[in-house]
A and B are shown apart, each in its own frame.
Chain A
Amino acid sequence: DAKTTQPTSMDCAEGRAANLPCNHSTISGNEYVYWYRQIHSQGPQYIIHGLKNNETNEMASLIITEDRKSSTLILPHATLRDTAVYYCIVMTTDSWGKFQFGAGTQVVVTP
């Protein structure tokens, strides 16, 4: 069973912020939230991860709700190259690397 729920698809205008939601209502205390994306016919690319605090790096920001049951990935200024499938994954360091990918969100950035 999928541990996360994401919208199937979303469109975003180039230059605007893209906000990608993810529900993980059954997340346990030692599970991290990870985001990866997969551009067509390539391997997944790491974006960001967090446990309970909000995180920001050069690619994106991750906002995790206080109860940790949901999170939002924010791409601050979407470009056409951000068109990809975005995966939200929860996992513990005990099972580190054994990603269980869901269907993800197909993001299409339009000019």
Chain B
Amino acid sequence: GAVVSQHPSWVICKSGTSVKIECRSLDFQATTMFWYRQFPKQSLMLMATSNEGSKATYEQGVEKDKFLINHASLTLSTLTVTSAHPEDSSFYICSAAGGRLGNTEAFFGQGTRLTVV
């Protein structure tokens, strides 16, 4: 399958600081990328959809000013958690779709474990 890579795999940051997570599609051009969040023992929750070159669309209840998403190219989307707080500690996962994958497959990154202390 196609490869989607996230960086970093894990990060620990201090409360009040900002953290940037990168999501790259390594062998295809992703017209659309998605960001999910997963709390312990819970399922994945969709946070936002980002299309290359346009503003992200956020799901209800997700603060767009806190979770900044940039999809500047067909192979890279970034999620920045601004002014992070301990309650933002979670497993963040991106997925990518489109390009040669068409509209029938999507692949996920390996996830980023964020711990805010």
Contacts and interface: CB of A to CB of B under 8 A. Distances in A.
Interface of A: 32, 36, 38, 41-46, 49, 87, 93, 96-104
A100 B43 CA distance: 9
Contacts of B6: 43
Q: Kindly name the residue among B4, B6, B107 whose own CB sees the greatest number of chain A CB atoms within 10 A.
A: B107
Interface in B73-91: 91
Contact of A99 (B1, B46, B98, B109): B46
B104 A32 contact: yes
Given A93-B103, A96-B103, A101 B44 contact: yes
Q: Kindly name the residue among A44, A46, A97, A98 whose own CB sees the greatest number of chain B CB atoms within 10 A.
A: A97
Query: What's the dominant secondary structure at chain A's contact region?
Result: loop
The 7 closest A-B pairs by CB, nearest first: A43-B108, A97-B97, A93-B103, A101-B43, A101-B44, A96-B103, A97-B106
User: In which size bucket is the chain B interface?
Assistant: 20 to 34
Contacts of A104: 43
A97 B108 contact: no
Interface of B: 1, 4, 6, 32, 34, 36, 43-46, 49, 91, 93, 95, 97-98, 103-111, 113
B63 to A, nearest CB: 19
15 contacts: A41-B111, A43-B4, A43-B93, A43-B109, A44-B95, A44-B108, A45-B108, A46-B108, A49-B104, A97-B32, A97-B106, A98-B34, A99-B36, A101-B36, A102-B43
Nearest to B1: A46
B49 A97 contact: yes
Contacts of B95: 43-44, 97, 99
A96 B97 contact: yes
A107 to B, nearest CB: 15
Contacts of A32: 104
Given A41-B91, A44-B93, A100 B113 contact: no
